[in-house]
Amino acid sequence: MNRLSDKVAIVTGAARGNGRAIATRFAAEGAKVVVADVRDPNPDFSDDGLVFHHTDVSDSSQVKDMVAATVERFGRLDTLVNNAGIEIENGYKTVVTLSEDDWDKIHNINLRGMFLCSKYAIPAMSENGGVIINIGSIAATLADPGMPAYNAAKAGVHMLTRAIAVDHGSQGIRCNAIAPGWIMTDMTASLFDDVDDREAAQRQVAAQHPVGRFGRPQDVANMALWLASDESEFASGQIFTLDGGLTAGSPVAT
């Protein structure tokens, strides 16, 4: 299939996990994809449609260089997927016990990074229009204990998504967000590291999903592909929840 034939995309945080799944899916659909990350991809990409660019999305000079290098190499930019992000570091903390440095680090990557990438990508897109896909979270609307910085940053991502759609729609720019729930990546798996019975804990969490399983990176890639394609050309400023029905029902125990 070639749903993204002749398109050029940047996917941030794409060395592994959801970002890698999105990047490889885009390439399989005909796009040329710049994989941006602070970590080298492991294993290395073998697809000719994927090009790695070392980028810290919280550094404006590196973001500008990433966009410029993409346009110089491929002559255009059609799609930006703002996927780069981190979760908690140094354990779960409340606003009282969370350090200012940890608050700043999470916001610099999870929210400032999306602002910077969008800021410099939009002018490169505006002549032909383009698509921005932000990776938010169900944690933007449902607070997790001990994760105030992450919750607040993801809430900002959702509102930034709407603001970009409103401000730049007249330039042919569409902007949407995907709000995943429990997607089984290395980062998600690490949340069970300190549990005595890891498999039992994972089964318990999976059972809370009406579809009966955790999400997979490919599920996120499938949604991102639709949003990047012309099939979604009337969708903009929306937050698409992707959580296997987890947040659809009442939390009251039955």
- Catalytic residue ranges: 150
List Cα–Cα distances, 72 to 50, 99, 144, 223, in angstroms: 15, 41, 42, 28
The one-letter amino acid code at 129 reads G
Question: Is the Cβ–Cβ distance between 181 and 213 less than 8 Å?
Answer: no
Edge-to-edge strands of the sheet including 239-242? 50-54, 32-37, 8-12, 79-82, 130-135, 173-180, 239-242
Q: How many CB atoms lie within 10 A of CB 195?
A: 12
Structure tokens at 218: 């490919």
CA torsion angle 156 162 164 169 (round to 10): 180
The residue type of 252 is V
Please say whether the dihedral angle defined by the alpha carbons of residues 142, 147, 150 and 155, taken in this order, is positive or negative. Answer: positive
